């Protein structure tokens, strides 16, 4: 079954904590490859403005792993949230994989499948305005019940890869939200839209859900 999520539009400078509280989340609650019973609740909120897509993850975890601090290091082995999406699925089969660990370190790729990908190296991760509730230098002292991660994806960046797009009401994209931690105490692989294959693999665009701008 393909899930659908609808993105609300807000004013360009109106993305505040209060605004996020108004957004009903979708849940990363599918753990098709669970082997240890660790299924952290993860809430994902999203909206769009005149210039960017905006995302907000809340991961309910009492213990985290966050080692990598340099862009495009293997953050998926840490406590990590991910957003894979195709901005123009009618014309292009390529998609981005945004993978970000609990201290805000980004891994970013682009391609049509797991084997056909390029690492995006020509940008600084500051472009995406990544904000984490976890202090980069004190991750080993984390003692909360949840961590929050926010970031934005400018349309100008997306259009470098897909060409000119119309990010207005009615636009349909495809994608999935994910939670993982390959080397954490309890390895886990969760997703929003279920992936029905025998082994863990998020690079399955055939299982992307629908993302619709309202």
What pLDDT score does 16 carry?
87
Task: Provide the pLDDT confidence category of residue 12 given band limits of 50, 70 and 90.
Answer: confident
The whole-model pTM stands at 0.98
C-beta of residue 66 within 8 angstroms of C-beta of residue 134: yes
Phi, psi of 2 (to 5 degrees): -90, 120
Contact residues for 193 (Cβ-Cβ < 8 A; gap 6+): 2, 3, 30, 176, 207, 208, 209
What pLDDT score does 15 carry?
84
Condensed to tens digits (0 to 9), the pLDDT of residues 122-178 reads 999 999 999 999 999 999 999 999 999 999 999 999 999 999 999 999 999 999 999
Condensed to tens digits (0 to 9), the pLDDT of residues 72-117 reads 999 999 999 999 999 999 999 999 999 999 999 999 999 999 999 9
Lookup: tokens for 190: 């969760």
User: Could you tell me which of 208, 128, 214, 203 has the C-alpha nearest to residue 168?
Assistant: 214
- The length of the chain is 214
Lookup: tokens for 39: 């299924």
What pLDDT score does 187 carry?
98
What letter does residue 28 receive in the DSSP assignment? E
- Element spanning 150, H or E: strand 147-154
In percent, the amount of the chain with pLDDT more than 70 equals: 100
The residue with tokens 């309910």 is 60
Contact residues for 111 (Cβ-Cβ < 8 A; gap 6+): 94, 95, 117, 118
Other Cβ atoms within 10 Å of 211 Cβ, number: 25
CATH number of the domain that residue 16 is part of:
2.60.40.1190
CA distances from 181 to 18, 98, 178, 193, 204 (A): 29, 15, 10, 18, 18
**Comparison of pLDDT for 14 and 45, the residue scoring more:** 45
Burial 112-132 (b: 16+ CB within 10 A, else e): eeeeebeebeeeebeebebeb
Domain that holds residue 81: 4-213
What pLDDT score does 79 carry?
98
Q: Does 11 have pLDDT greater than 80?
A: yes
Split into its structural domains, the chain has a count of 1
User: Could you tell me which of 151, 110, 200, 155 has the C-alpha nearest to residue 20?
Assistant: 151
Task: Provide the pLDDT confidence category of residue 1 given band limits of 50, 70 and 90.
Answer: confident
What pLDDT score does 13 carry?
73
Lowest-confidence pick of 10-24, 36-50, 97-111: 10-24
């Amino acid at each position: 079954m393909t899930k659908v999520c609808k993105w609300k539009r807000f004013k360009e400078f109106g993305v505040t904590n209060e605004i996020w509280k108004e957004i009903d989340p979708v849940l990363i609650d599918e753990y098709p490859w669970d082997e240890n019973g660790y299924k952290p609740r993860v809430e994902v909120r999203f909206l769009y403005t005149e210039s960017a897509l905006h995302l907000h993850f809340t991961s309910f975890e009492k213990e985290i792993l966050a080692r990598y601090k340099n862009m495009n290091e293997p953050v998926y082995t840490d406590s990590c949230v991910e957003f894979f999406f195709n901005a123009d699925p009618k014309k292009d089969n390529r998609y981005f994989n945004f993978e970000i660990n609990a201290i805000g370190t980004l891994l970013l790729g682009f391609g049509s499948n797991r084997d056909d990908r390029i690492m995006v190296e020509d940008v600084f991760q500051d472009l995406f305005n990544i904000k984490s509730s976890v202090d980069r230098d004190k991750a080993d002292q984390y003692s909360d019940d949840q961590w929050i991660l926010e970031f934005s994806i400018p349309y100008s960046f997306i259009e470098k890869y897909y060409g000119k797009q119309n990010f207005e009401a009615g636009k349909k994209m495809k994608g999935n939200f994910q939670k993982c931690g390959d080397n954490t105490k309890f390895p886990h692989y969760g997703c929003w839209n279920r992936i029905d294959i025998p082994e863990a693999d998020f690079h399955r665009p055939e299982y992307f859900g629908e993302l619709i701008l309202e």
